[in-house]
Structures are given as C-alpha cells and as structure tokens.
Chain A
Amino acid sequence: MTARGDPIIQLTDVHKWFGRLHVLRGIDLEVWPGEVVVVCGPSGSGKSTLIRCINRLERHDRGRIVVDGIELTDDLRHVDAVRREVGMVFQQFNLFPHLTVLQNITLAPTLVRKWPRQQAERVARELLERVGIPEKAESYPSQLSGGQQQRVAIARALAMQPKIMLFDEPTSALDPEMIQEVLDVMRDLARRGMTMVVVTHEMGFAREVADRIVFMDEGTVVEAAPPHAFFSNPRHERTRAFLSKILR
C-alpha cells in the first residue's frame, strides 16, 4: 500500500525515561492510514514502550504524539478520545476472566459506545465468526486455548470499530502450534485495510504482510524500510547483526 493523505499516527522526537533509564531516545515515526508497520528489535530496545505510548498506557516525557488528529497530552479527554479509536492486543491476552467471551467483547461497546445490547451482541457474534470461534461465545476465557484467547482479544478490540490496531508481541506467549491461527486473523485484518502497528519477532509475517518494517535498538529507530529492502539489503550494521541472529 502506498502512503496517502496525512499520517494517522505521527510521533515527533518522542522521549521516555523509566527513572534514570532512557528507553525512548527521540523517536520520529509516521504511519499512514491502511499501513501495516512491523516494529522489531532486540528485547529492551523500547519497541513495546513505543506502541504503549501511542495509546498512552505509557506517558511520553518529551516530544509530540498525534493520533488521528488528536495530540496526546495530560488532558484525559484527549486520551479517552484516542483510546476509543485505537485497539490494543497484548502479549498476555488480558481477557476479563469473570466474563464470558461474548461479554468480554460487548462490554466496551455497550459502556463506551452506548450501543444497545442486541446490537453489541450481533457485532460480537459476527466478529467471533470472523476469528473462527463462533461456538465459544458462552465460554469463559479459562476454558480456551491460548490461541483462542488471543483471537477473542482481537475480536474484543475490533468490536469498538477502531481505526488503528496495536499489537504488542501478540504471539510471544503462545505455544508454537497456535501462532499461525493468530497470525491468520491478523493477515485477514491487514488485507481488509486496517492500520496496524505490530511489535513482533515473526519475521515471516513481517515479510509477507508489512508495508514497512521498523528496526529499533537502544531506544532509537535504526532503520525503516519496506520488507524486501529490509531483508535483502539492510543498510545498518546493527540491523544486519539482528537479522543474522533472528533469521538463523
């Protein structure tokens, strides 16, 4: 997909400290509508912190983050406005264990979007169909496999009809045989034109689905390029070193 219009996510010189640890050191990044950006890099490179800043689960200390025309500041109304438009999928799924799958998905649309229950449930069942587990609507999260839980988590985020989806290592907590079923759902989502920022080590997925791959190291963006250029002709030594380790 080619870049068009204004960026839907724009980070300008973003810095973040955890105490004395400088985890983001001046990040500049633009994501255009419909683009799939994969963020990779060694652990501790700041990639999770970066996408957690995009919906302000972490507060950046310096620089500007503008999402869908709204700047993230201490103004909670702005934060809530951004969160309504940005879905997030976590490494640990974070499903609500006391609610059924259906209730997990309908909770936010009924509370935040004020949809009537019937409408919310209809949308939830459609989404469960889409992620391939319509028969699990009345189950509780603990009765599902990891892969199924993560697919429910994706459906839950999609129920809010977000413009952007953030994925924070969505397959890292999964058994190997369950990784593909989650990646399939994400592939389908990308094909439908969803704007996605994905932190992952799944280089096969990145090569196939990403429009751009961003390589981070020590809190900076070292290199950002389309998959072909990124894998076949990485410009930086650090990227080459990382790729040689991860693609072995």
Chain B
Amino acid sequence: MRWDVVAANATYLLEGLRGTVALGLLVMALGTVLGFGVGLARLGRGVLYACATGFVELFRDTPLIMQIFFIFFGLPALGIRLNPFVAAAAAMTFFAAANTAEIVRGAIQSIPRGQWEAARSLGLSPAQSLRWVILPQALRRMLPPMMGLFTTLLKDTSLAAIVNVFELTTAGRRVVERTLASFEIWLVVAALYFLVCYPLSVATQRLERRLVAETA
C-alpha cells in the first residue's frame, strides 16, 4: 500500500472535490429554478403544458451520460460549441430540472382539492391560492425528494469526467494515471464522495421522519 501517494496528492484531490461541490451546487440551483417553472407549467394546459411535458419526458427517459455526450459532441454539428464545463453543467441542469419538475408537480397535486376550493371560494385568485395556500404545504412535501435528488446529482457530477471537466473523479483519474496507485486513490475518492453525500442522506431521512410525525 502506498499511502504516501495519497498524502502527496491530497491538495489536488481536495481541489477536485471543490470542483465537484461547485458543479453540484450550480446544477442544484439552476435545476431547481428551471424545474419549478416546468413543474408549474405541467399543471396547466395548452402549449406550455405540452412543451413542459416534452421537456420532462425527454430528459427523464434518456441517460444523463448520453445527454452530456450529445450536448458536448453532438451540438457542434449545429454550430453550438460549448466548453466542457458549460456542456456538462447544461446537461445536468436539464436533467435536474426535469426531475425537479416531477417532484414539484407531484407535491402540488397531492394537496387535497378542498384546499383549492376553500381558497378560491374566499375570493383568492388562482395565483394567490397557489402562493399562500398550496405552495407552503407542497414545499414541505417536496423537501425530502428534493434532497434525495440533490444527493443523486452530487454523485452524478462524476459523469462530467467523461468530457474532462475538472472535478473529483477527473482529479482521481489523473493521479492514478501518474502514480498507478489505483486502490489507494479510488478508495480515497470514494470516501470523499461518501463524506459529502452521507450527511445529506441522513438529513433527508431525519426530515422525512419529522414530516411524517407532524402530518400524523
């Protein structure tokens, strides 16, 4: 075992971890905002609903790795050339948004119809009913699945390595290529992912238990 290799490359791996977290946070933020819009559009009708549904199905029913390939290697054929980071971030944002949209839609539709009826019969507009009555209740129901999605996204940032974006998996691969210390480096890389994701996962479970207890 060559733990000295790990020590010598610790700073480099931590920089990779920083890239992972940065990409993860960016994708979570953009994906949440976009996903909310798409999810709300899925509640309506007409063109907006059709576009939102198309978007959701497209990005939920194809693998993320293929989406990254397509945006990075495919789109240049149409004259759209993105640098690796932007391409990976864009693909992951769409993927995150499509999944967020379904969480948003599901949570809103799970609120009993009587809540809408009470709000509307008090004279609140549809927008006011959504803002003050439905969303506050739906948000609580969204939290656990959203945190689950965030955990998945954080791990899936590793797919950005295939287009050579600098993040933890890329950093690990480069160190392994140089030192051939596969076992040690991948073990440490895995541990770093675990250290970031495990607290998220535990927090999600706690939150779920709390929400279940409160609604009981």
Chain A residues with CB under 8 Å of chain B are 55, 57, 80, 83-84, 86-88, 90, 92, 94-98, 107-108, 111-112, 153, 156-157, 160
Contacts and interface: CB of A to CB of B under 8 A. Distances in A.
B15 interface: no
A45 B117 CA distance: 21
A177 to B, nearest CB: 24
Interface in B100-156: 112, 114-115, 117-125, 128, 132-133, 136-137, 140
Contacts of B140: 98
B137 A98 contact: yes
A112 B133 contact: no
B13 to A, nearest CB: 44
Contact of A111 (B121, B124, B137): B124
Contacts of B119: 96
Nearest to B137: A98
B122 A160 contact: yes
A111 B132 contact: yes
A159 to B, nearest CB: 9
Given A84-B123, A96-B137, A98-B136, 6 more contacts: A88-B117, A96-B115, A96-B118, A98-B137, A108-B123, A157-B121
Contact of B128 (A111, A153, A157): A111
Contact of A55 (B114, B121, B136): B121
A194 to B, nearest CB: 16
Size category, B interface? 10 to 19
Given A57-B117, A92-B114, A96-B115, A80 B122 contact: no
A98 B140 CA distance: 10
Given A90-B114, A107-B132, A57 B120 contact: yes
Nearest to B129: A111
Contacts of A98: 136-137, 140
A112 B124 contact: yes
A107 B122 contact: yes
Q: Which of A83, A98, A156, A160 has most chain B Cβ within 10 Å? A: A98
Interface of B: 112, 114-115, 117-125, 128, 132-133, 136-137, 140
B122 A94 contact: no
A111 B137 CA distance: 18
Contact of A160 (B112, B114, B123, B125): B123
A118 to B, nearest CB: 19
B117 A94 contact: yes
A97 B137 contact: yes
Contacts of A84: 123
Contacts of B112: 94
A11 to B, nearest CB: 18
A88 B120 CA distance: 10
Give 3 closest A-B pairs by Cβ, nearest first: A94-B118, A108-B122, A94-B114
A112 B137 contact: no
Contact of A90 (B117, B132, B133): B117
Contacts of A156: 122
Nearest to B121: A88
Contacts of A92: 114
Contacts of A95: 118
Given A94-B114, A96-B133, A86 B124 contact: no
Nearest to A159: B122
Most B Cβ at <10 Å: residue of A83, A92, A94, A107:
A94
A112 B121 CA distance: 11
Nearest to A96: B133
A111 B109 CA distance: 23
Contacts of B114: 90, 92, 94
Contact of B121 (A57, A96, A107): A57
Contacts of B123: 80, 83-84, 108, 112, 160
A90 B122 CA distance: 12
